[in-house]
Structures are given as C-alpha cells and as structure tokens.
Structure 1
Amino acid sequence: MGRPRTPLLDRERITTTALELVDEKGEFSVPQIARRLGVQTGSLYHHVDGRDGIVELLRERVSAGIDIATLDLRPWDEALRAWARSYRAAFAAHPRTIPLLMTNPVRAPRVLDQYERAVSLLLDAGFPPPDVMPVIVALENVVLGSALDLAAPEAMWELADDTATPRLAEALDAAGERRADRAFELALECFLSHARRRLAEHRSAG
C-alpha cells in the first residue's frame, strides 16, 4: 500500500483540532486531540512540544487574525486605535481562547515580534520606557475584556420586575443595539485620551 497523499498528522491539523476543542469546551488536552484525530497520544509529540507547545500554536493561529500593518500607521494613537480594533476582532472570533492564552507566558516568535513593533511605536512616539508595557497591557485589558463581552448574551441583565430597578430598566432601554461595540469605543477613546495626557505630561516635564 502506498503512502497517503496527505500526512495523517502535522502542526496545522493539531492546531485546528485544538482550536475546535477550545471553541467548543473552553479547554483541550493532548489525549482529546489524539482521539479526535484518530491517532495515538504519543504520535502528537513527534510534531509539537507538548501541551505548552500547542498553546503557543493556538496563540499564533488566533493572533494571525490581527492586522499588524496597523502598527505602521502614524500618528501613534491612530496606530493603537486601529491595532486595538483588529486585535479585538481576532479574539472575538475565538473568545474561549482568552483565559487559556492569558494564563500562559507568550513564547510564539510571531507574537513576540508584534509586541516588539508595538513597543517601538510607543518609544518612537516619546513614551518613557517605564510607561510602555503598562500602556500596552492596559490596552490589552480593554481589548480582551471587550472581546469577551461580544461573546456574552445580548441581554445580560434580566429584570423580573422593572419597577424594582426603574433606572436600570431605563438605562438598558436607552442603550439600544450594539451595546458592546459602543462600550468598546468609549473605553478605547478614554484609554487613548489618558495615554495622550501622560505623554504630554512627560514631554512638558522633560
């Protein structure tokens, strides 16, 4: 019997299967991937560096949806705004990966390169080195929190009796559609305003 035209296992298939499991269950294990692919668990270790290696493959796969060209835009705040929107869209497509990826150190070279570009953007704009990582992490908090919000039910507040919480009922009515999108844009603008103010203060102090 000749060899199959398509290899039974490779990193792409392993990553795709792991992502399917996380999208469905919020988690994965190496034996679960092996069962779904119809192979022995040990066979996966010929292609990936265990569970941690698969987590980094997932990080690369989801992060590939982020348009890193946005970090080449100028001025810096327009670059961050565009990057944040693209970042949010990429993770909103797979929100259940967020808790998994946020509790594992970043090792994927392509993802580290994206951080390198973001750091360079802020340093070139004049941000002092101690402020750079707090600015990036704060932006990620806005982005990833909003990506999770997009996965939440549209009606997050169920009021059994409007008269018991009349102001909440009125506010929910007034919010209308696209609540999550509007909340994200508000948080993003507040973040950028604060970052601009910090940069201006640093420049005036210098």
Structure 2
Amino acid sequence: MGRPRTPLLDRERIATTAMQLVDEHGDFSVPKIAKRLGAQTGSVYHHVDGRDGIVEMLRERIASAIDHRTLDVAPWDMALDAWARSYRAAFAAHPKAIPLLMTSPVRAPRVLEQYERAVTLLLDAGFALVDVMPLIIALENLVLGSALDLAAPETMWVVTESTPTPQLAEALTAVGEGRADRAFEVGLKGLLNHARAMRVAD
C-alpha cells in the first residue's frame, strides 16, 4: 500500500483532537488523543512537548480568536473594554478549557506577546508599574468568570414556594433573561471606573 497523502499525526490534528476532548469532558489525555486519531501514544509525543505542550497549543488556539487589534484602540479605556469583550467571546466558545488553562503557567509565545501589548498599553496610558498586573489580572478574572457564567444554566437559583426567599425570587424575576450579559456589563463598568480613578490618583 502507498503512504497516505495526509499524515496521520501533526500538531494541528493533535490540538484539534485535544480541544474536542476538552470541550466534551473538560480535560484530555495523550492516550485518548492517540486513540481518537487511531495512532500510538508514543507517536503523539513525537509531535508535541508532552501534556504541557498540548495545553499551550490549546491556549494559543483560543487566544488566536481574541482580536489583538482591540489593544490598538484609543483611548486606553476603550481598548481595554474592546479587549475584554473579545477575550470573553473567545473563551465562551470553550468554557470547559478555562479551569485547565487557568491552573497552568502561560508559556506560549504568542499569548505572552498579547500580554506584553496590554502591559504596554497601560504603561503608555500613565499607570504606575505596580498597578498594571493587578488590573490585568482583575480584568481576566471578570472575563473568565463571565465566560463560565455564559455556559451555566439560565436558571442558577431554584426557588420554590417552600423556600423562604421571597426577595430573592422577586430579584430573579426582575433580572429576566440575559443575566450573564448584564452582570458582565456591571462588572466591566465598575472595573474601568476604578481603573480611571487609579490613573487619576497616580
């Protein structure tokens, strides 16, 4: 038999399969990737730098969906607003990947480059160096929490007649649909207002 025109394994196929497993189960393993691709586990390791390498491939794949041009918007607060929205949308497409990626150190060069641009944006805007990373991390916490919230059931609080929480029931009825989006808007507005105050104070 002749050799197949398309190689059975390459980095792109491995990353795609790992992402499928994460989207389905919240995690992956190299043996499961190999099984799904019809290959030997050892063959997968020939193409990637172990499990950590695959995690970084997943990080790069999701980060590639974030519009890096948002960080070129002026002024700085509009740039952060646009970056946060694009960041949220990218991770909302793969919410089960969030726990996996957020408990692993960031090593992917293209992802680090995006952080570099965010840091530069804030420094150029006049923020004190000591304030830059807390602000970026706070923005990430908001974005990733909201991305998880988008994947949650619309009804997260189950209130029955036997539950003595009448005001909670009224508040849930009042918020209606789209609570995750409304909560994100509240959080993002509050964070940006705080950031503006930080910059003025400095």
**Shared fold, TM over 0.5:** yes
- Residue aligning to 1:199: 199
Question: Structure 2: 5+ residue runs without aligned partners?
Answer: none
- Residue aligning to 1:114: 114
- Residue aligning to 2:76: 76
How far is 1:164 from its partner? 1.8
- Residue aligning to 2:189: 189
- Residue aligning to 1:148: 148
Identity of aligned residues (%): 73
Contact 1:66 1:90 in 2 (8 A): yes
Letter in 2 for 1:45: Y
> What are the equivalent positions in structure 2 for 1:124-143 lying under 5 Å apart?
124-143=124-143
Mapped partners of 1:102, 1:163: distance in 2: 36
Question: Aligned with 2:47: secondary structure?
Answer: coil
Contact 1:162 1:169 in 2 (8 A): no
- Residue by residue over 1:72-91, the C-alpha shift from the partner in whole angstroms, topping out at 9 and shown as x without a partner, is 00100000000000000000
State TM-score, norm by structure 2.
0.98
Question: Aligned with 1:82: secondary structure?
Answer: helix
- Residue aligning to 2:3: 3
- Residue by residue over 1:43-88, the C-alpha shift from the partner in whole angstroms, topping out at 9 and shown as x without a partner, is 0111000000000000001111100100000100000000000000
- Residue by residue over 1:15-39, the C-alpha shift from the partner in whole angstroms, topping out at 9 and shown as x without a partner, is 0000000011111111010111110
Question: Aligned with 1:71: secondary structure?
Answer: helix
How far is 1:2 from its partner? 2.2
> What are the equivalent positions in structure 2 for 1:152-167 lying under 5 Å apart?
152-161=152-161, 164-167=164-167
With over 3 angstroms needed to count, the CA separation of the structure-2 counterparts of 1:35 and 1:165, relative to structure 1, is: same
Letter in 1 for 2:91: F
With over 3 angstroms needed to count, the CA separation of the structure-2 counterparts of 1:82 and 1:41, relative to structure 1, is: same
- Residue aligning to 1:94: 94
- Residue aligning to 1:172: 172
Runs of 4+ in structure 1 off by over 3 angstroms are: none
State TM-score, norm by structure 1.
0.96
How far is 1:162 from its partner? 6.8
- Residue aligning to 2:41: 41
